[in-house]
Chains A and B, each alone.
Chain A
Amino acid sequence: MSDRVIETRGLRKQFGRKLAVADLSLSVGRGEVFGFLGPNGAGKTTSLKMLLGLVEPTAGTATVLGAPLGNRSIRARLGFLPEHFRFHDWLTGRELLRFHGELLGIRRAALDERIDRLLERVDLLDAAPRKLREYSKGMLQRIGLAQALLNDPEVVFLDEPTSGLDPLGRLLVRDIIRDLKARGTAVFLNSHLLGEVEATCDRVVFVKQGRAIRSLSLSAGGEDFEVELRFTPMSAELLEGLGRLGGSPAHYDGAVRLRVRSEESIPEIARWLVERGARIYRLESRRPSLESTFLEVMGQDQRPG
């Protein structure tokens, strides 16, 4: 059995003259929680739809669980929660899950037992007999999540799963993703919420204009340190000097941020500033946040929407 559950090479999708995905090559390992990051319009949702067989690629090749895209029997082993989960609002929560279970070909007795377990997991057991039109946005998102997990999938595709959820709902989703990981399920997570991604993903790929431009392992930790400083005077001369000690400094909320290669550079920076008469009010070092990496990779003009 291959250790790759998703493998794409040069995947491309063009809608008329609009290029949604230019050239996507990536792979996701078995049991990996994979974050797919990029600004609005970067082609994240289209990429995910191609992997699920909902949209046909214009060019390129890909396999999901070893089978070419659109393979019907493979879809029984996948789970999917779309970005704006919508369903026939005249069904009750339980009816919705039963219908999807039938589409998945799960036998009735096993299905009922699984539905109860999932309703409990997403905290909707009490709301199960109510019609979906009475559900709040967060409840709909949670029942959608239960729908995505009905078949104990090997790969789960989650498109912005925490949008519309309150903090408790987000925690629940985070917990579920952790459970999935513990069970060896791969999770393909599309998200704008960098904090969520940072908390759950093993690895992220940044996508810009339909291209995967950088892969970053979150579980291994990066090499660089990010230093944030507040001092006076913030003269051009001092900033230029700091640029020589670390990466190019950037102003950020009245402070200066720069990247250094090793932790040893930090006392060096402090000494250098003090020697030049600067008064330091704050000096903080940390591993770079996903947000700053995101902005660096995407460029300052591209912010998550």
Chain B
Amino acid sequence: MNGILTIARLTLYEARQRRILLAMLLCGVTFVVLFAIGFYFIGKDVRGNASASFVQKQMLLNFFIMAGLYAINFMSIMTAVLMSVDTLSGEIGSGVMQTVAAKPIHRSAIVLGKWLAHALVLAGYLLLLSGGVLAVARSLSGVTPPNVVEGLAFIYLGGLVLLSLSVAGGARFSTITNGVVVFGLYGLAFVGGWIEQVGAMTGNAVTRQIGTIVSLLMPSDSMWRLAAWHLQPSFSRDLQMTPFFSGSVPSGAMVIWTVGYVAVTLVLGLWLFRRRGL
């Protein structure tokens, strides 16, 4: 356990020293400020529109919040991969890993320590961005999406899928190969999600099944769909008119599958790293 904490502390320190945390903070604040400006003017227009009903106004505001959260989901996934993609492969390639792994710590502590530190940074980033967006929405229009905790937890879980793949891949592949594979899987899930959606809308069982299989292979997109479903008020979901509407909502079993997926990916990473010659 001490080894995990030592490696995690060093990884966090690295993120600070290499100004990764600063960059995330600045980008995050800029994002929230931009969102606030947009939300202010849109909110003003929406409220001033005498012909729109209360429900329509709420829907429009919620739509804009969902657009913000969609961007946050994308940014946290990108960040999860980019910050961790070279954490093992980079140190193996440069030889830094040799003196670390020659010390009396488990190799698995190195992998878990790095994963833990990145998972913490990701959580902080997600909280900063989503906290900012939700605070802006609440303070400017009094709107808060439902099920915030569940929604954010699913977005975070989607990020952890990517993070775990990227850390585990680094135990085996070079940085570039790892990045190509992880983003490739992400793209696969994205397209798979759309195939499933369209299949659900048109009632095509085959396309729906293809989408489900892709989601099992790479559950990141289904976590976003689950988050989006939770974060929208029931009248928005029922109208089925926004791009965030989910024709096929992933089940609770998918959540369990995703948690297991993260765990198995990590175990695979540990196994690969233990066998790796340094």
Contact = CB atoms under 8 A, between A and B. Distances in A.
Interface of A: 15, 49, 52-56, 72-76, 78, 80-82, 84-88, 90-91, 99-100, 102-105, 144, 147
A76 B10 CA distance: 20
A103 B99 CA distance: 10
A74 B17 CA distance: 33
Interface in B5-54: 6, 10, 14, 17-18
A105 B17 CA distance: 24
Query: Interface SS of chain B: helix, strand, loop or mixed?
Result: helix
A164 to B, nearest CB: 14
A92 B148 CA distance: 42
Given A49-B277, A88-B14, A100 B105 contact: no
A102 B6 contact: yes
A49 to B, nearest CB: 7
22 contacts: A15-B277, A52-B102, A54-B98, A54-B101, A55-B277, A55-B278, A56-B277, A75-B103, A80-B99, A80-B102, A82-B95, A84-B95, A85-B95, A87-B96, A91-B17, A100-B99, A100-B103, A102-B2, A102-B6, A103-B103, A103-B105, A105-B2
A76 B103 CA distance: 6
Contacts of A86: 94-96
B6 A99 contact: yes
Interface of B: 2-3, 6, 10, 14, 17-18, 94-96, 98-106, 275, 277-278
A82 B103 CA distance: 13
Contact of B104 (A55, A76, A91): A76
Given A56-B277, A86-B94, A105-B2, A78 B102 contact: yes
Given A86-B95, A88-B96, A90-B14, 6 more contacts: A54-B98, A56-B277, A72-B106, A73-B104, A82-B98, A102-B2
B6 A147 contact: no
A55 B104 CA distance: 15
B221 to A, nearest CB: 35
Contacts of A73: 104
A54 B277 contact: yes
B18 to A, nearest CB: 6
Nearest to A90: B17
Shortest beta-carbon contacts, A-B, top 5? A103-B103, A90-B17, A76-B104, A55-B277, A75-B104
Contact of B98 (A75, A80, A90): A80
Contacts of A85: 95, 99
A147 B99 contact: yes
A105 B103 CA distance: 9
Nearest to A91: B17
Contacts of A78: 102
B20 to A, nearest CB: 11
Q: Which residue of B2, B3, B18, B104 has the most chain A CB atoms within 10 A of its CB atom?
A: B104
Contacts of A144: 99
B106 to A, nearest CB: 7
Given A49-B278, A82-B95, A90-B17, A54 B102 contact: yes
B10, B96, B98, B275 pick with most chain A CB within 10 angstroms: B98
Contacts of A102: 2, 6
B10 to A, nearest CB: 6
A298 to B, nearest CB: 26
B99 A104 contact: no
Contacts of B101: 53-54
Contacts of A100: 99, 103
A211 B157 CA distance: 52
Contacts of B98: 49, 54, 80, 82
A199 to B, nearest CB: 26
A43 to B, nearest CB: 13
Question: Which of A55, A73, A99 has its CB near the most chain B CB atoms (within 10 A)?
Answer: A99
A104 B102 CA distance: 10
A219 to B, nearest CB: 29
Contacts of B95: 82, 84-86
A82 B275 contact: no
Nearest to A77: B104
A274 B161 CA distance: 87
Contact of A56 (B3, B10, B96, B275): B275
Contact of A75 (B18, B94, B102, B275): B102
A103 B6 contact: yes
Contacts of A54: 98, 101-102, 277-278
Nearest to A80: B102
Contacts of A53: 101-102
Contact of A103 (B18, B100, B277, B278): B100
Contacts of B102: 52-54, 75, 78, 80
A288 B129 CA distance: 73
A83 B98 CA distance: 10
